[in-house]
Amino acid sequence: MSETYSYLGPSGTFTEAALAQVPEARGKEWRSVNNVGEAFDDVVSGRSVAAMIAIENSIEGGVTSTLDALANIPNLRIVGEYLVRVQFVLVARPGTRLEDVRVVNAHPVAYAQTRSWLDANLPTHGHIPSTSNVASALALFENDLADAAVAPPQIVQHHELEVLAENIADNANAVTRFVLVSRSTVLPAATGADKTSIIAELPDDRSGALLELLEQFSTRGVNLSLLQSRPIGDALGRYRFVIDADGHISDERVADALLGVRRFSPSVIFLGSYPRADQAPVEYVDRYDDEVFREAREWLRGLIDGEPTA
């Protein structure tokens, strides 16, 4: 049976563009889904071997629906990350003028990334949320509730739509980070340009608790590229933290940091170690090199075994 990969569709979305970067997915079946929950369900049920999910964008930060799903659905692993440059156009049915637009369809993330342009050029506009960037445009053919849609530029290659405005993103350098999520527990090999993702809870709500969590990384020379809090949901003041650490779990400094986190936190979810999309080598000072950790362990072993010290 052919392997299947799920992605937020329909065809033409940024998620599909991210999946196109996965060598293992080429020539396989791609299944378009309507939302993140459906994509995760495909992976959990075994309908798909993996799903491509947006997890972070450079404007709004972490995608909360993805972060919460990773915290609550067990046995999921991130096996790769991919970056997609995000650009938007405002499209409408043929014959529509910009001054005719009163209501705009847009995915919530896309709406946040184009809000300044929309407020400046359509100050009285209304917004109807869509399940995807492509779905926002296709809805123009299904009903007349909206007059225009925020969509990817390539949408006009697939559908008869008129571009009312180009380059409407508030930040021309906006990038969305996607992750490939699977049930596989096989770790990708360390490359020297890796990232490790976990979710950890604080043991209690008290002064300095977050600092203690972060010190597990700082004292081992491990840099964090993402730290985002999400409510656990059982009481006010109770949070879990989504953490991206530079390095691979097989790196001594990262492994030692994770041991510290596991001793400190009542709940740690390991999401995976995987190659960085930008392929940038992880930088650290020499005293946190693997050999330094191994030498320290050997020194301790010698003390325990009663070996003479030099």
pLDDT bin (cut points 50, 70, 90) of residue 309 is: confident
Tokens 């491990």 label which residue?
Answer: 222
Tell me how far apart the alpha carbons of residues 74 and 67 are, in angstroms, rounded to a whole number. 13
Q: Which fold has domain 89-165?
A: D-Maltodextrin-Binding Protein; domain 2 (3.40.190)
Class of residue 227 by CB neighbours under 10 A (exposed 0-12, middle 13-18, buried 19+): middle
- State the distance between the two ends of the chain, measured CA to CA, in whole angstroms: 62
Q: What is the pLDDT of residue 250?
A: 97
Q: What is the pLDDT of residue 1?
A: 53
In the chain, where are the structural domains located? Answer: 1-85+174-186, 89-165, 187-310
User: What's the rounded mean pLDDT across residues 274-283?
Assistant: 96
pLDDT digits (tens, 9 = 90+) for 58-113: 877 888 889 999 999 999 999 999 999 989 999 999 999 999 999 999 998 899 88
Tell me how far apart the alpha carbons of residues 122 and 129 are, in angstroms, rounded to a whole number. 17
pLDDT digits (tens, 9 = 90+) for 162-197: 999 999 999 888 899 999 999 999 999 999 999 999
Which is the CATH superfamily of the domain at 1-85+174-186? Answer: Periplasmic binding protein-like II (3.40.190.10)
- pTM of the full predicted structure? 0.85
The Cβ-side half-sphere exposure at 175, using a 13 Å CA radius, reads 9
- 187-310 CATH: 3.30.70.260
Higher-confidence position of 234 and 225: 225
Fold match, 1-85+174-186 / 187-310: no
User: What's the rounded mean pLDDT across residues 113-124?
Assistant: 95
Tell me how far apart the alpha carbons of residues 163 and 91 are, in angstroms, rounded to a whole number. 4
**CA-derived radius of gyration, the chain:** 23
Q: What is the pLDDT of residue 34?
A: 87
Tokens 């919530």 label which residue?
Answer: 108
